[in-house]
Structure 1
Amino acid sequence: MNRVEPIFNITKSMQLLLDEEITVKNREQVIEMLQQKIEERGQLLQDLTEPYSIKEETLGAEVVKLNQQIEIKMNVIFDQIKVELKLMKKKKKSNHSYTNPYQHVQSSDGYFMDNKK
């Protein structure tokens, strides 16, 4: 039995999952499913030991190629999340400034401060 084949199958399913359209609504589910697959694949990788057959080596090379594509797609999702977080922080800050517009005003109008002692 080929020991690398289950790892290849999990990696391929990860790629297929990332090839689907990922929206804001389903992104959390996709991330959870990816995390499960990554943990499952990690367990299989820990159990994998040398020596490898020629077929296992070629399948392993394909896994590496797929993993690079998966990593690129995951970075795109991560960048989208970062942009959304920045927009939310900016929105929160602007909403807060509308609710209390004089919070950051430090005016000393109307009184005199004597600096002499």
Structure 2
Amino acid sequence: MVTRAFHDLTAELLAVLEDRTITERDVKIERVTKLIDQRDGLLSQIKPPFTAEEQQLGRAVLLLNQQVDHLLKLQKQEIKRDIQEINKKKKSSNKYTNPYESLSVDGVFYDKRN
């Protein structure tokens, strides 16, 4: 049953997002992306009419999706914060290595003595 498989993939996705033992962000992102792609493939196969069991699974999936969305937003904010921190470090490092780079010349003085 497609609805059951979709529910199981959603539950697995939530488990991966909640898993604190995965320390490598790249590994976690790769697993999440793979699960989302698999869910997308199944989503197109879900078509009405739905049995009572499928409707119940659908409601459960909606609740799981809310949690998944929240955790994905937190992950995005964490990545965004890390990128900003890296850019800030890069900028301060550049100022240290070349302190006169940001100076601008506003005018020029001409001496007219002959």
Q: Same fold (TM over 0.5)?
A: yes
* Contact kept in structure 2, 1:4 and 1:56, CA below 8 Å: yes
Cα deviation for residue 112 of structure 1 reads 2.1
State the partner residue of 1:58: 56
State the partner residue of 1:105: 103
Equivalent position SS for 1:52:
coil
Q: 1:12 to 1:108 in 2, by over 3 A?
A: closer
State the partner residue of 1:10: 9
Q: Counterpart of 2:109 in structure 1: which amino acid?
A: F
* Contact kept in structure 2, 1:18 and 1:73, CA below 8 Å: yes
Equivalent position SS for 1:4:
helix
| Structure 1 stretches of 4+ moved >4 Å | none
TM-score normalized by the length of structure 2: 0.88
Equivalent position SS for 2:44:
helix
Q: Percent identity over the alignment?
A: 29
- Counting matched residue pairs gives 111
Using the alignment, how far apart are the partners of 1:102 and 1:54 within structure 2?
Answer: 71
- Give 1:34-113 correspondences, 5 Å limit: 34-107=32-105, 112-113=109-110
Flag structure 2 segments of 5+ consecutive residues without an equivalent: none
TM-score normalized by the length of structure 1: 0.86
